[in-house]
Amino acid sequence: MTQVIGTLCVEYFFGDPKRVRMLKPLRGYSDIIKAWFEIPIGFICDLESVPIVKGSNNESGAIHDYFSRYDSCPVVDRITCARIYYEYQRYFDHQEGGLVNGVWDFCRRVVKTGVVAVWPGYFHRLPVNATYEEVAEMHLPDIEAW
């Protein structure tokens, strides 16, 4: 059964509102890959993978960023990574509940999962232990250009 053990505990970098460093490990079990995983202390990510539709799913964003790294454990392909992202968005969305929230959350999950499945330039380009400088230097495509 999909689950997360612990809570997201991060620190922001001074002058950078986008990226964070994990202060505690985040552990979970994914039904998609039938495996446990652990995002380590010190992992640097942006929490939100899709700037178009911001949500309140920082944990699922961190989990997606972890599985986007070329040496995550286990290593997954791009589509599996997107499916895991959807899995955890759904997991955290269901904790909120409510019909209106449920409809909006479903639409947001579908859009965000579709975007991460095809977004160029990020998947498997960094290691799990990438430095802040390496993560900050990632040049992602400008959404305005699409």
User: How many alpha carbons fall within 13 Å on the CB side of residue 75?
Assistant: 9
Contacts of 33 by beta carbon, 8 Å cutoff, 6+ apart:
74, 76, 80, 84
The highest-confidence range among 85-94, 106-115, 133-142, by mean pLDDT, is 85-94
At residue 143 the predicted structure's pLDDT band, cuts being 50, 70 and 90, is very low
Is there a contact between 44 and 32 (Cβ–Cβ < 8 Å)?
no
Q: Is residue 146 predicted with pLDDT exceeding 80? A: no
**How far is Cα 20 from Cα 14, in angstroms, rounded to an integer?**
10
Is there a contact between 81 and 116 (Cβ–Cβ < 8 Å)?
yes
Give the start-to-end residue ranges of the domains of the chain: 3-133
Enter the pTM of the model.
0.83
Question: In this predicted model, which residue has the larger pLDDT, 71 or 19?
Answer: 71
Share of the chain above pLDDT 90, in %: 47
Is there a contact between 38 and 67 (Cβ–Cβ < 8 Å)?
no
- In eight-state DSSP terms, residue 99 is H
